[in-house]
Amino acid sequence: MTTTPLTRYDRSMLRLMNDRRGRPLYATAARRRSVVAAHLVLTAAIGALMAYSSLTESKPIWAVVVMVVLLLPWMVATGAINAATRGLLELRGRALDERQLAERARVQACSHRMMTLLLAATAVGLLVTGATIGHAPTTYTAPALIAVLAVHWLMPLWVAGLTAQDEPAEDDTPAA
109-155 pLDDT, tens digit per residue, is: 999 999 999 999 988 888 888 888 888 777 778 888 888 899 999 99
Q: Length of the chain in residues, anyone?
A: 176
Q: Give the rounded distance of the alpha carbon of 107 from its chain centre.
A: 12
Q: Report the pLDDT value the prediction gives residue 157, as an integer from 0 to 100.
A: 94
Q: Averaged over 72-94, what is the pLDDT?
A: 92
Q: Report the pLDDT value the prediction gives residue 171, as an integer from 0 to 100.
A: 53
Q: Report the pLDDT value the prediction gives residue 169, as an integer from 0 to 100.
A: 64
Tell me the pLDDT band of 176, cut-offs 50, 70 and 90.
very low
Q: Report the pLDDT value the prediction gives residue 85, as an integer from 0 to 100.
A: 92
For the chain, the domains span 10-163
SS3 content of the chain, % helix, strand, coil (to 5): 75, 0, 25
